[in-house]
């Protein structure tokens, strides 16, 4: 009760971890399914962009947002994904794809799979106990018959600032619709329409949302568009290319989910930068539109869950589930 449950899907992750729900849905813009899953010791799947309909989702950053399941185990996650994945003509970003079964090959194992272990897992910013857990997970995959080799995403560090530029720009546009007129919260005792806008948005948005809107408007201004937003889009293409190069030789990428285990409540209240840096390993996945799954791989000395992230090629969720299931069954972690 002294720790946070994670990003914007923290409620979903906490409900599942507490046994209050068999599964819950979350929304992942830069890691908001996977980070809560890691903090709460549950399984979180961020699907390929376009795999699950976004109709009904409150859009923050439209080119990143994706809905996915949080569950107690890998098989449950696969069952939920089997149900929610598919084309929706009411969602312009929905993709037509002939999905295979998510569970038929769940128990096929990982023998012969080539797994790329991100070298950045050993960076100084990553907590020592998380480094050890990821290293042990890599060894476990080798024991299960997979080939594990260290690789690097050359431009991983540039993904984080690019993500915040693009996502803030999109958020400032998407959230402009919450003006107190059509739907949502409306402030009381307003004398004219300008006051409705000002009071409604001042009272209705939290400090982090206001920060993103302000940044987004700054990045999209005529003086800054080329310097920030245009360059961020170029970085996005570079990061996508980095992933494509890795997947030419490997089936799956292995990394931590977060830099640390769950923060104490209030610990990051005055340090937004620490929160942003904590998404180093998750935002690049959203930039590239790839699927990724978070699953427990141990606990630290404070008994806080540690999360392992597996990243796959687009629309290869069944392979991710297969690899995640093999690890889960070989290491029964009690959180």
Pairing state of beta strands 114-118 and 66-71? unpaired
Bridge partners, 305 (sequence order): 299
Asked whether residue 149 is assigned to any structural domain, the reply reads no
Name the pLDDT band for 334 (thresholds 50, 70, 90): low
Q: How high is the pLDDT of residue 7?
A: 84
**Strands 292-299 and 252-256, how do they pair?**
unpaired
The total number of structural domains that make up the chain:
1
pLDDT of residue 116: 98
In a domain, 199, yes or no: no
Residue 67 lies in a domain: yes
What distance in Å separates the CA atoms of residue 241 and residue 80, rounded to the nearest whole number? 31
Residue 26 in any domain: the answer is yes
Q: Taking residues 306-312, what's their average pLDDT?
A: 97
129 part of a folded domain: no
Distances (CA, A) of 169 to 27, 153, 258: 18, 25, 24
- According to DSSP H, which parts of the chain are helical? 10-17, 34-40, 74-84, 128-143, 156-174, 193-204, 207-220, 231-246, 272-277, 283-288, 317-330
Predicted local confidence at residue 121, as pLDDT? 87
Domain assignment present for 253: no
User: Using one digit for the tens of pLDDT, what is the confidence trace for 12-36?
Assistant: 999 999 999 999 999 999 999 999 9
Residue 123 has a pLDDT of 85
Domain hosting 322: range is 1-111+261-335
CATH label of the domain that carries residue 266: 3.90.1300.10
- DSSP notation for 173-200: HHGGG-SSSSSS---SS-SSHHHHHHHH
| pLDDT score of 22 | 96
200 within domain boundaries: no
Q: What is the pLDDT of residue 276?
A: 72
pLDDT tens digit string along 59-101? 899 999 999 999 999 999 999 999 999 999 999 999 999 999 9
Residue 123 lies in a domain: no
What is the pTM for the complete model shown? 0.94
Average pLDDT in the chain:
94
């Amino acid at each position: 009760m002294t720790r946070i449950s994670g990003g914007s899907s923290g409620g979903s992750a906490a409900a599942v971890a507490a046994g209050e729900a068999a599964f819950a849905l979350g929304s992942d813009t830069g890691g908001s399914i996977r980070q809560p899953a890691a903090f709460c010791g549950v399984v979180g799947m961020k699907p390929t962009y376009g795999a699950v309909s976004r109709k009904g989702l409150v859009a923050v950053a439209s080119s990143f947002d994706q809905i996915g399941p949080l569950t107690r185990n890998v098989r449950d996650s696969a069952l939920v994904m089997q149900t929610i994945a598919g084309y929706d003509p009411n969602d312009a970003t929905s993709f037509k794809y002939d999905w295979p079964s998510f569970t038929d090959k769940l128990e096929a194992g990982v023998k012969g799979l080539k797994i790329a272990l991100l070298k950045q897992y050993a960076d100084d910013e990553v907590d020592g106990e998380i480094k050890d857990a990821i290293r042990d997970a890599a060894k476990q995959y080798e024991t299960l018959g997979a080939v594990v080799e260290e690789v690097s995403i050359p431009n991983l560090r540039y993904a984080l600032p690019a993500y915040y530029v693009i996502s803030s720009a999109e958020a400032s546009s998407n959230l402009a619709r919450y003006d107190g007129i059509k739907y949502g919260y409306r402030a009381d005792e307003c004398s004219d329409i300008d006051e409705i806008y000002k009071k409604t948005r001042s009272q209705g948005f939290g400090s982090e949302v206001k920060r993103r809107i302000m940044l987004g408007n700054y990045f999209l201004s005529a003086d800054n568009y080329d310097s920030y937003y245009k360059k961020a889009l170029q970085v996005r293409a570079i990061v996508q290319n980095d992933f494509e190069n890795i997947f030419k030789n490997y089936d799956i990428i292995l990394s931590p989910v977060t830099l640390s285990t769950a923060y104490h409540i209030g610990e990051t209240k005055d340090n937004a930068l620490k929160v942003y840096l904590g998404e180093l390993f998750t935002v690049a996945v959203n930039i590239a539109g790839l699927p990724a799954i978070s699953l427990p791989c141990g606990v630290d000395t404070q008994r806080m869950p540690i999360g392992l992230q597996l990243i796959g090629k687009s629309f290869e969720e069944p392979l991710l589930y297969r690899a995640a299931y093999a690890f889960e069954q070989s290491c029964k972690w009690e959180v």
